């Protein structure tokens, strides 16, 4: 709506200012910093009543994106549904704080969408964004020195881990996470994971143009929340609650609904109680809380991207950083209990996991197995054991589980299973960490999601075949779409780790293989990473990365590769073993790889931003991806000082 010509130039140069007076005292004027006093002037300048300035101040941070009208319709779109509605959570928390006599503040650092940037140069900024956003969140927290506590509202793949990193580093503040929940699946159609394969399926004649257009229109059936599968967004919500950083039964709530919004009000009350009781983040985040998160991650069958984020959260909290041996031990010990997209065996959307009881329901099973540290404190101010006691007998548990049966005709015990039921269904533990002469530092595969039909009677995946080596994701997806990949091939994508692309996420490859009829007979090996919804015989995080001298960067098309993954014992190997004409032992293969030059076509992507190159260098000095791709300031400074000395600076 425009304005009249006269109104356009009806300009004022003075205003009367807010009525009333600031609640100043002799002590404040004598001792308070000038910034604190000026802050009061700005508060009333923004419309806050001078009579309500004396309450405790709380900061609400979020990843909100886009501009919505009051009725929810868009003025400007956000990057994704995950940050589209979280302003409603902020509003609910803020009103609760002000209703208690407090003074709420709000700040925003919006986040990108990994789904939107798949297969584009935008993916080169995805993982580096996490560290950058965490830095900005921390700076925003410190830039409001009068805050007494922080509420972090976030939903998706990088924004929520960034928020968790930021709050984990606030050792002496009460902080809490409000997860942004999930979007609903369409009544008739495909979920947001499968819909990302329409290009590959259309190219292979699996669907028509009309089917792709219609299904694509319906996939995000509601406007807010993370995707409907247990990808990185959903897994990060689960992990936040498992660490005790969120109120009970808040992860995976349906976005925009009353039960979702109430969690924000509960969180506001909880952070105020934490402040009053002297409970701080150092009390919540302990080594026991980190291990609980790893245990729950395994029980859910969560995204492999949390292997990057949980160590980073531990680092930010000043705790012991779990390594690959810790992950392997947890996954061997902990049964997978949750049946959701993308792992199965039944492909329930994540909202059903919420209605089946969510994180606390899974934890009930885990505590009966003695796998949890129940002594850890949560943001409720109570121990985990006390929270689980409440949940087991709660009306909320009974009602949500009844709703699942009533609304969808689903037995909640078929979504979150007992260990015995999971065993009867043949559900296997989540991930395996193979090593070998291609991956001497290790790799990761979500072994629970390898198609059962390609396993032998003992649950072992074996694939011995010739490599087809690609140095760009574009070339790899083109090969899949145009018949260049066939059953029995082993795809190798190199130079796509931190130094090449910022460790891009290659979901368009893994999803295409999942939804094409021959895909279960193809393996993929890469130094890149995968989406949390990825499945199949896909081996990522190969270390060392190719551009850091890793032997994966010396492979050539036609090389013979031998893969073995025991999905029950969670053991595996990935070896280069010569060629079909001249097979070698793994030891001989290692020597031959070491003598080779790197692949001649391998180089950092031409579109790699300078910002991401800097991130790659800093995280490499700090221990690399297996340490969580963090910034270890002491190690970085040591490396810089050593470099300056070596260069004579």
Q: Annotated catalytic sites, by residue?
A: 531
* Contact between 642 and 631 (Cβ < 8 Å): no
* Contact between 480 and 513 (Cβ < 8 Å): yes
* Contact between 359 and 241 (Cβ < 8 Å): yes
What does the angle CA 532 – CA 537 – CA 541 come to, to the nearest 5 degrees?
55
* Residue (of 366, 377, 308, 317) closest to 530 by Cα position: 308
**Dihedral sign computed on CA atoms, order 122, 124, 130, 131:** negative
Rounded distance, CA 200 to CA 220, Å?
Answer: 20
Q: Which residues, 6 or more positions from 233, have their beta carbon under 8 angstroms from its beta carbon?
A: 82, 155, 156, 157, 160, 182, 226, 227, 532
Q: What is the 3-state secondary structure (H, E, C) of 399-428?
A: HHHHHHHHHHCCCHHHCECCHHHHHHCCCC
- Matching residue, tokens 């280069």: 576
Dihedral of the CA atoms 225, 230, 233, 234 (nearest 10)? 70
Helix axes 126-142 and 159-168, enclosed angle (nearest 10) = 40
In whole angstroms, how far apart are CA 345 and each of 225, 358, 523, 627?
A: 24, 18, 21, 32
Q: What is the 3-state secondary structure (H, E, C) of 338-364?
A: ECECCCECCCECHHHHHHCCHHHHHHH
Backbone angles phi and psi of 294, in degrees to 5: -65, -40
Residue 525 token pair: 């090996």
* Residue (of 265, 312, 251) closest to 285 by Cα position: 312
* Residue (of 482, 427, 486) closest to 459 by Cα position: 427
Q: State the DSSP code for 371.
A: -
Helix axes 287-300 and 324-333, enclosed angle (nearest 10) = 60
* Contact between 372 and 241 (Cβ < 8 Å): no
β-sheet bridge partners, residue 583: 578
Rounded distance, CA 170 to CA 327, Å?
Answer: 26
Residue 226 token pair: 């993370």
* Contact between 499 and 604 (Cβ < 8 Å): yes
Dihedral of the CA atoms 474, 478, 484, 489 (nearest 10)? 50
β-sheet bridge partners, residue 565: 461, 572
């Amino acid at each position: 709506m425009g304005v009249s010509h006269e109104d356009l130039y009806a300009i004022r140069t003075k205003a009367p200012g807010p009525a009333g007076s600031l609640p100043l005292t002799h002590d404040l004027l004598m001792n308070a910093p000038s910034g604190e006093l000026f802050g009061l002037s700005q508060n009333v300048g923004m419309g806050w009543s001078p009579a309500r300035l004396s309450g405790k101040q709380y900061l609400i941070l979020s990843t909100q994106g886009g501009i919505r009208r009051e009725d929810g319709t868009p003025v400007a779109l956000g990057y994704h549904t995950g940050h589209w509605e979280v302003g409603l959570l902020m509003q609910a928390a803020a009103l609760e704080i002000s209703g208690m006599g407090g003074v709420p503040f709000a700040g925003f650092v919006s986040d990108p969408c990994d789904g939107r940037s798949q297969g584009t140069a935008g993916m080169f900024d995805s993982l580096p964004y996490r560290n950058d956003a965490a830095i900005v969140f921390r700076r925003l927290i410190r830039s409001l020195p009068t805050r007494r506590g922080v509420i972090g509202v976030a939903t998706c793949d990088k924004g929520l881990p960034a928020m968790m990193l930021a709050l984990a580093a606030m050792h002496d503040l009460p902080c809490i996470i409000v997860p942004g929940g999930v979007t609903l699946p369409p009544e008739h159609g495909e979920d947001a994971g499968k819909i990302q394969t329409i290009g590959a399926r259309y190219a292979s004649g699996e669907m028509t143009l009309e089917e792709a257009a219609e299904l694509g229109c319906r996939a995000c059936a509601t406007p807010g929340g993370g995707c409907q599968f247990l990808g990185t967004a959903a897994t990060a919500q689960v992990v936040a609650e498992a660490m005790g950083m969120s109120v009970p039964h808040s992860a995976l709530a349906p976005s925009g609904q009353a039960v979702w919004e109430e969690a924000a009000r509960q969180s506001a009350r909880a952070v105020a109680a934490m402040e009053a009781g002297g409970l701080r983040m150092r009390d919540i985040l302990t080594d026991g809380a980190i291990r609980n998160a790893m245990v729950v991650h395994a029980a859910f069958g969560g995204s492999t991207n949390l292997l990057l984020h949980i160590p980073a959260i531990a680092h930010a909290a000043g705790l012991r950083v779990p390594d690959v041996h810790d992950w392997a031990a947890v996954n061997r010990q902990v049964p997978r209990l949750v049946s959701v997209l993308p792992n199965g065996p039944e492909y329930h959307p994540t909202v059903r996991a919420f209605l089946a009881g969510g994180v606390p329901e899974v934890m009930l099973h885990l505590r009966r197995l003695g796998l949890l540290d129940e002594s850890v404190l949560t943001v409720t101010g109570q121990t985990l054991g006390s929270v689980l006691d409440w949940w087991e007998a709660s009306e909320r548990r009974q009602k949500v589980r009844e709703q699942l049966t009533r609304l969808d005709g689903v037995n909640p015990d078929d979504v979150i299973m007992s260990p015995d039921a999971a065993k009867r269904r043949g559900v296997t533990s989540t991930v395996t960490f193979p090593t070998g002469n291609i991956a001497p530092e290790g790799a990761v595969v979500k072994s629970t999601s390898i198609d059962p039909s390609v396993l032998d009677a003992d649950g072992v995946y074996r694939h011995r075949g010739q490599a087809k080596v690609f140095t760009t994701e574009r070339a790899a997806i083109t090969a899949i779409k145009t018949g260049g990949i066939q059953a029995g091939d082993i795809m190798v994508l190199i130079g796509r780790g931190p130094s090449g692309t910022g460790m891009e996420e290659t979901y368009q490859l893994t999803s295409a293989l999942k939804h094409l009829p021959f895909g279960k007979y193809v393996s993929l090996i890469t130094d890149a990473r995968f989406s949390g919804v990825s499945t199949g015989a896909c081996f990522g995080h190969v270390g060392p990365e190719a551009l850091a001298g890793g032997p994966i960067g010396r492979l050539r098309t036609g090389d013979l590769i031998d893969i073995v993954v025991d999905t029950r014992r969670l053991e595996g190997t990935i070896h280069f073993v010569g060629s079909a004409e001249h097979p070698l032992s793994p030891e001989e293969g290692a020597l031959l790889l070491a003598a080779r030059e790197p692949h001649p076509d391998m180089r950092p992507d031409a579109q790699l931003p300078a910002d991401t190159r800097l991130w790659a260098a800093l995280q490499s000095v700090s221990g690399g991806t297996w340490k969580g791709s963090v910034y270890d300031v002491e190690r970085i400074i040591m490396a810089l000082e050593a470099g300056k000395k070596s260069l004579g600076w």
